[in-house]
Amino acid sequence: MQGRLLIQSSRRLASSSGRLCVGTRHLLHPHISVISHNCVLNQRSMSQSTGFKQGPHKLLVIPGPIEVHDDVLFANAHSSVSHVSPDFIPVFGDCIRMTRDVLFTRTGQPFIVAGSGTLGWDEVASNLVEPGESALVLHSGYFGDSFADCLETYGAKVTQIKAPIGSAVQIDDLKTALQQKKYKVVTVTHVDTSTGVLSDIKAVAKAVQEVSPETLVIVDGVCSVASEEIKFDEWGLDVVLTASQKGLGTPPGLSLLVASERAIQTFEQRRTPVTSYYASWKRWLPIMKAYEAGTAAYFATPPVNLIYAFNTSLKQITQSSISVDDRIRLHREASRKVKEAATSLGLKQLATDPAFAANGMTALYFPDGIVAGQVLPKLLQEDIVVAGGLHKDIREKYFRIGHMGITAVDSSRGDIDKIVAALKKVIPEATGVVNKTLGAYSYNERAEAMQARSRL
């Protein structure tokens, strides 16, 4: 079903010029309706619907890429525009400004670069840590190991504090490590996509400021920006790095990073040259400053269409009737619904404590004796695409559900309800707990029955 196009204009849709459009509905197929345009739609008017509508497809609720709004996809299909054109420069400049708004920073310096989220690690490792300097990595899953690998590639001496699966590093352990040795940077994965474990980055930053205030606080926010609370300036963060395809609701392909003034100063005061070319802030800083100031500059061709798409999504995030704080609250609510449904079905979260549970995703162990092949294909039959396990130690034992962006925020889509309904259908079928008798049980009773069964 994926990949079809629907073209739809609302019945009374005001275009940017104020012209009203009237659509005519044609019914062609039970699941597909096509509504013909009879007005010209202007892509600039992103506060209005563009009229572009993606076709029916399976609901993508992995922890990124996430479901993308029609208007964002439409912007990604923008006609080719020169990367130095007067049309494009303010689009890029506004992305830089709105990225600040998402993170509640006035003085942070955004970097918007073609790449995957991973590239943000290279930016940190090659611009902020000089060869031989020490880095402390707080490990709450797969992505801690990877960030450590990246730092070592560029010559950092890395120490890791590893939390048990399902939990974040304890703040006391962090303080002890900081007391024992001087670190140039501390890195923390805000939400580890492999486990859905949330780290308390506010508390991490506070501990660093107390014990080792000169150490830079680096947040891997790939799976948290725009879905978890982040107050960049207020909490004293030095770097938040992320990618476009999760809470920011844009197709993948943009590496995004915000650096504090202190981080930029650290970079500018390096004694040794930056150890990457493509990830070098020496190259990118003048580019970001130029576009924000309304002029073009060239280092490498920016991904123009993705930046149009990102601009569209950022406007939805920062300039709609739902504030960024509201958005975070709506993610919490969506998360609570998914987690409550999972608990009622007897599913156990990887997060060992609610404080360690992300709000943009949920990682759940399969019931005892049940494997992925008994659950994921059945969810797929319900048109729900979730993700399998990723953490190498327990890969086959759990699955992950993403609930970020429009899936969490726009309840009119019904995505959360669909996820919950699919879980309620598929899990009992997989465990064989449901029968005519059990079907009448409450969810708590059913969960108890399943837990009893799993102890057998």
**Looking at 234-242, 247-255, 258-266, 446-454, which segment touches its own copies (CB under 8 A)?**
247-255
Please, are residues 421 and 381 in contact by the beta-carbon 8 Å criterion? no
Using CB under 8 A, which of 78, 100, 184, 403 touches its own copies? 78
Please, are residues 233 and 104 in contact by the beta-carbon 8 Å criterion? yes
In the complex with its own copies, the residue whose CB is nearer, 105 or 224, is 224
Using CB under 8 A, which of 22, 114, 322, 324 touches its own copies? 114
Using CB under 8 A, which of 227, 245, 260, 344 touches its own copies? 245
In the complex, minimum distance from the CB of residue 246 to its own copies, in angstroms, rounded to a whole number: 9
Q: What does the longest C-alpha to C-alpha distance in the chain come to?
A: 73
Using CB under 8 A, which of 10, 153, 160, 209 touches its own copies? 153
In the complex, minimum distance from the CB of residue 346 to its own copies, in angstroms, rounded to a whole number: 26
Contact set for its own copies, span 381-420 (CB under 8 A)? 385, 387, 390
Which neighbouring-strand residues pair with 259?
A: 109, 239
Residue 95, number of CB atoms within 10 A of its CB: 28
d(CA 361, CA 189): 14
d(CA 308, CA 77): 9
Contact set for its own copies, span 254-293 (CB under 8 A)? 255, 273-280
In the complex, minimum distance from the CB of residue 396 to its own copies, in angstroms, rounded to a whole number: 15
In the complex with its own copies, the residue whose CB is nearer, 228 or 415, is 415
d(CA 185, CA 269): 15
d(CA 278, CA 19): 46
Which neighbouring-strand residues pair with 257?
A: 111, 241
Token readout for 200 is: 């308390």
Contact set for its own copies, span 29-68 (CB under 8 A)? 29, 32, 34, 36-44, 50-52, 54-55, 57, 60, 62, 64-68
> Residues, the chain, total?
456
In the complex, minimum distance from the CB of residue 265 to its own copies, in angstroms, rounded to a whole number: 22
**Looking at 75-83, 258-266, 350-358, 359-367, which segment touches its own copies (CB under 8 A)?**
75-83
d(CA 182, CA 139): 18
d(CA 132, CA 336): 44
Total site size for its own copies, rule CB under 8 A: 86
Contact set for its own copies, span 159-218 (CB under 8 A)? none
Token readout for 345 is: 């079905």
In the complex, minimum distance from the CB of residue 143 to its own copies, in angstroms, rounded to a whole number: 11
Using CB under 8 A, which of 134, 167, 305, 343 touches its own copies? 305
d(CA 423, CA 434): 13
**Looking at 73-81, 100-108, 212-220, 361-369, which segment touches its own copies (CB under 8 A)?**
73-81
* Residue 121 makes contact with its own copies by CB under 8 A: yes
In the complex with its own copies, the residue whose CB is nearer, 58 or 175, is 58
d(CA 229, CA 15): 34
In the complex with its own copies, the residue whose CB is nearer, 67 or 292, is 67
Using CB under 8 A, which of 138, 186, 248, 306 touches its own copies? 306
d(CA 236, CA 208): 10
* Residue 251 makes contact with its own copies by CB under 8 A: yes
**Looking at 202-210, 248-256, 263-271, 321-329, which segment touches its own copies (CB under 8 A)?**
248-256
- The DSSP annotation for 236-283 comes to T-SEEEEETTSTT-S-S-EEEEEE-HHHHHHHHT-SS--S-STT-HHH
Using CB under 8 A, which of 22, 81, 171, 203 touches its own copies? 81
* Residue 297 makes contact with its own copies by CB under 8 A: no
Residue spans of beta strands (DSSP E) within 302-395: 361-365, 384-385, 387-388
Whole-angstrom CA distances from 266 to 129, 155, 186 are: 9, 17, 14
In the complex with its own copies, the residue whose CB is nearer, 57 or 97, is 57
Contact set for its own copies, span 131-150 (CB under 8 A)? 149-150
